[in-house]
Amino acid sequence: MKIGVIGGGAIGLLFAGYLGRLFDVTLIVRRESQVRSLVENGVTIHKNGSAITTRVGAAQEFEVQKELDLVIVAVKEYDLPFLRNKLVELGSHLPLMFVQNGVGHVEWVKALPHHHLIAGSVEHGAMKDNDVTVHHLGEAGTNIALIRGNGRVIEELVSKSSASFPFSIQQDFEEMLLTKLFVNVLINPLTALTGVTNGKLVDNPFFHGLQKDLFNEMLLLFPQMEGNISFEKVVDICRNTYLNRSSMLKDIESQRRTEIESIIGVLLEKAQKEHHFVPIMNLLYQLVKGIEREGLGG
């Protein structure tokens, strides 16, 4: 199977590095300098004191010289609109998998003309070191579910996936994405504001108390998720990715735009429409937006 991975960040490198050991993978990135580095060096994944290097193909801005069987879109949610025309040009027959945080992108994805659309929920912890190197900080898995179409390609991913980078098929993509959203809400903004790793959130009783309050606010917005996700599951993910610095924390540290809109912004809109009181969620949103504004120069 020939797979294209769009995005040369931590998740894109992680997917390319592992899947490139099983399939013909091409990493599609923005910068020509990253293409050159990938062609020369491959992708190196560091985990538990060891390293593996995988040779992958690389191309800039969809200049792929081969027919693909699957494209995994691993850019941030706010970058998706810039990809629409390119994705359409690839052809509506081509299956697309989207692995963004939050749920703000779902309607945009469903509006694409493609016949086969797949949602992905990544539970791994990853930190990009440079254009060709990523640290795998929390070994977990990737849940995948059909939005529409047939599941032939995801069945092949699952059947050939390795123990260190497994895939699991879920039946309900909305429930799957909401489960991941609970995790994102309880981890990303708190780590971004406190500067701590994921695991420290559950070690520190004050941060942990805020997580519990956030979990209850999420259940106000999504009461159907009670019984589908437990607070203990989020705690387990924090421990499994103990040393991981969340993507939002890294964005704040690098003075980049965060994904706060797709993770909490859309939830505040829902809360307002449904007249729910979510004070902690609102406070975290305002603080992250304020810090983001300062970092981006106002």
Span 106-155, pLDDT tens digits = 999 999 999 999 999 998 888 899 999 999 987 788 999 999 999 899 99
Residues 25-69: pLDDT tens digits? 999 999 999 999 999 999 999 998 999 999 999 999 877 767 899
Q: Which of 114, 112, 122, 111 is nearest to 145 (CA)?
A: 122
Residue 234, SS3? helix
Beta partners for 72? 5, 97
Which regions of 158-227 does DSSP assign to beta strands (E)? 167-169
Beta bridge mates, 70: 3
* Answer CATH for 178-295 from 1.10.3720.10, 3.30.910.10, 1.10.1040.10, 3.30.497.10: 1.10.1040.10
Which residues does 297 contact at the CB level (< 8 Å), separation at least 6?
none
Q: What is the largest CA-CA distance in the chain?
A: 55
Model pTM score: 0.90
Q: Which residues are catalytic?
A: 180
Distance of alpha carbon 110 from alpha carbon 80, whole angstroms: 13
**Ranges of each domain in the chain:** 2-171, 178-295
- Dist CA 290 CA 298 (whole Å): 9
Residue 188 clears pLDDT 70, i.e. is over it: yes
CATH of 2-171, one of 3.40.50.150, 3.40.50.10380, 3.40.50.170, 3.40.50.720: 3.40.50.720
